[in-house]
Amino acid sequence: MTASSSWRPAAAMVLGGGYGKRMMPLTKDIPKPMVVLKGRPLIDHVLDRIAAAGVPRAVVNVHYCADKLQAHVEKRTHPKIAISDERQQLLDTGGGVAKALPLLGPDPFLIHNSDSVWIEGVGSNLERMFSVWDPDTMDSLMLLASAATSLGYDGSGDFAMDKDGRLSRRGERQMVPFVFTGVSIAHPRIFEGAPDGAFSMNRLWDRAIDNGRLFGIRLDGLWMHVGTPEALVEAERWIESEDVA
């Protein structure tokens, strides 16, 4: 992997359209991105991190409780917010990003789940991603966390990573070290030939794996998968203990 520390994306896609069913009853009247963690909605933790990394624009897709989420994020000036409207049909991760491509522009961009939060290790993980991004060899670069030490995750991992950072999927009945944090950089070419309508980013990532163009970088710090009310309480405990430390 080559390093170019001066590069950073001009835009980020923040995925905010899901129902947050596992977060009920907290999501009865609000979308999951507006569930509060340590006094601020989850999506503000994400947008603050994006702004701090120098990304000037963010596209947020909306579906469930769309009016509330749109009104909330449009109050922001950093990053500058654009809305991708999925009120009529929720398009899943891949379809949602594909619909937003005209808003994201022609260059590689960041994709960030609205509920992906972490405690930084040394320096900024987004800055580390930007520094190792290589558009000549990569169609996507994923931020991966240790499956063994991440909060709110109890699966068998998502990916294995070789010494060059290339990724492969976990096989059936296999355990692998890394879990996807919901944060990646994508080159627009990964969407060439993508289907219309709703589809998962997994389809595009699998094709990138087949072409040897899906890469990963390990998160430095503690990643928290805030998927349930119980995980939200535990995440607050983690952050409080870190603040004390």
Residue 77's contacts (CB-CB under 8 Å, 6 or more residues apart) are none
Phi-psi region of 215 (alpha: psi -120 to 50; beta: other; left: phi over 0): beta
Domains and CATH numbers, the chain: 11-244 (3.90.550.10)
Rounded to the nearest 10 degrees, the angle between the axes of helix 201-210 and helix 92-104 is 90
For the stretch 191-231, pLDDT in tens is 999 999 999 999 999 999 999 999 999 999 999 988 899 99
For residues 172-194, average pLDDT: 95
Q: Would you state the pLDDT for residue 152?
A: 82
Residue 72 has pLDDT above 70, yes or no: yes
pLDDT at 3: 45
Q: The pTM is what?
A: 0.94
- The encoded tokens of residue 11 equal 């835009």
Mean pLDDT value across residues 158-185: 94
Q: What is the pLDDT of residue 142?
A: 98
